[in-house]
Amino acid sequence: MLVAIPDVLTAAQVAETRKILDAAEWVDGRITAGHQGAHVKDNAQLPPGSPAARQVGEIINNALRANKLFMSAALPLHVLPPMFNSYEGGQTFGTHIDGAIRVLPNGQRIRTDLSCTLFLSAPEDYDGGELTIEDTYGSKTVKLPAGHLILYPSTSLHQVTPVTRGRRVASFFWLQSMVRDNGHRAILYDMDVAIQRLGAENPTHPSVISLTGLYHNLLRQWAEL
């Protein structure tokens, strides 16, 4: 399941983050690539833990914590600090699958259940640079407005097509979900969306209470903390 989360950052926050990122020192993205990734990866990255990465990372983390749609779709347990990449002049990241295990700054290892890309360039400012994701029902092409985020299972093959004009700046990060199974998480998300819709139309309907209870009982069955 791919979920697009609109307006994670406001236009003002996108402008602020771009100001910080554009003034920062970028390095060759291959230094953080795994064995297989190094052959297909051609981009620039902010060094993880650099002052600019931390500063913008905090803005993004605060925005994510306040975002109900993100929380419902991801059910996050651990979120890795946001990282940043930039593509220009034909740069690309060929087809790959992200590594299964990553390490939090405190040394704790987490399983990557979901991959996130937060777009920080307006689509009209660059050509190419589509994120193409192999989903259960075929290949999906994603190119979202600045400030919007796409959430997709880390088990998916994906690529970033060459950027042939302008520059594509994005934040990317991974998270371990409380619900490991993509199918279980999709059921909970669909159920939550339906309950919210029903509750908005008919807040006192007794079925809203029953269905909310069922949602939590399913979450209790499937959550690993």
- Residue 127 sits at φ, ψ, to 5 deg, of -105, 150
Cβ 70 vs Cβ 64: under 8 Å: yes
Cβ 24 vs Cβ 42: under 8 Å: no
Minimum Å distance from CB 158 to Ni ion?
6
Cβ 93 vs Cβ 43: under 8 Å: yes
> Which of the stretches 6-14, 49-57, 66-74, 91-99 binds Ni ion when contact is defined by CB under 5 A?
91-99
Examine residue 7 and tell whether it contacts Ni ion (CB under 5 A).
no
What does the per-residue mask of binding to Ni ion show for 40-79, with x meaning CB under 5 A?
----------------------------------------
Category of 153 on φ-ψ map: left (φ > 0), alpha (ψ -120 to 50) or beta = beta
- Which residue, 7 or 98, is less far from Ni ion as judged by CB? 98
User: What is the C-alpha to C-alpha distance for residues 155 and 182, in angstroms, rounded to an integer?
Assistant: 9
User: What is the C-alpha to C-alpha distance for residues 53 and 47, in angstroms, rounded to an integer?
Assistant: 7
Examine residue 130 and tell whether it contacts Ni ion (CB under 5 A).
no
C-alpha dihedral sign at 101, 180, 53, 170: positive
Of positions 98, 127, 134, 135, contacts Ni ion by CB under 5 A: 98
- Which residue, 120 or 188, is less far from Ni ion as judged by CB? 120
- Which residue, 13 or 171, is less far from Ni ion as judged by CB? 171
Minimum Å distance from CB 153 to Ni ion?
12
- Which residue, 21 or 170, is less far from Ni ion as judged by CB? 170
- Which residue, 98 or 134, is less far from Ni ion as judged by CB? 98
Binding site for Ni ion (CB under 5 A): 98
